[in-house]
Amino acid sequence: MRRVTVTDYNPEWETQFELAAAEIRKVLGEECVAVYHIGSTSVQGLAAKPVIDLMPVVRDIQKIDRFNEEMAKIGFVAKGENGLTGRRYFQKGGDERTHHVHVYQEGNKEIARHLVFCNYLRENPRVAEEYGTLKKKLAKEHPYDIQKYIEGKEPLVIQIEKRAMGEI
């Protein structure tokens, strides 16, 4: 059972993102339009689970499965859609995960949702601090229950998403 760990912001996360993004761009080649750093590790000063979330945007999601073997060679294990239609998901680090890769085809609405959420937190440090504090609290309350951790932060995540999308 994996432990839910939330740590203070680490400036090394940006370097870890850049290194992984360069590897992924090399593997995906012409298919890759962009690679974004998303999730809490992409927001300077925000407490986070120390797992780098990358979001490659590609021309054709149907072609991505062809890269599974090459992605495995650089440590990323393919998990298919992993519950989200239109996505390809990869993990690195096994039980001690270091990276999550969420691949979407350009035009997928999930791309904007992820980017708007992170940008909102970057532009609103008090909201980011509130979110980070909640995540630390939940990690302490549910150190071995990732589902309860996720459920505990969901109401605030939804509220932030609505604010970020201009719905509140």
The answer to whether residues 125 and 45 touch, using CB atoms and an 8 Å cutoff, is: yes
Write the pLDDT tens digit of every residue in 71-112. Answer: 999 999 999 999 999 999 999 999 889 999 999 999 999 999
Quick check: 1 pLDDT over 80? no
DSSP string, 57-96: EES-GGGGGGGHHHHHHTTPEE-TTTTSTTEEEEEESGGG
Distance CA 76, CA 91 (A): 5
**Which of residues 152 and 167 earns the better pLDDT score?**
152
Structural domain boundaries of the chain? 12-164
Q: What is the CATH number of domain 12-164?
A: 3.30.460.10
* Exposed / middle / buried, residue 159 (Cβ in 10 Å: 0-12, 13-18, 19+): middle
Supply the pTM of this predicted model: 0.95
For the cut 80, the answer to whether the pLDDT of residue 168 exceeds it is: no
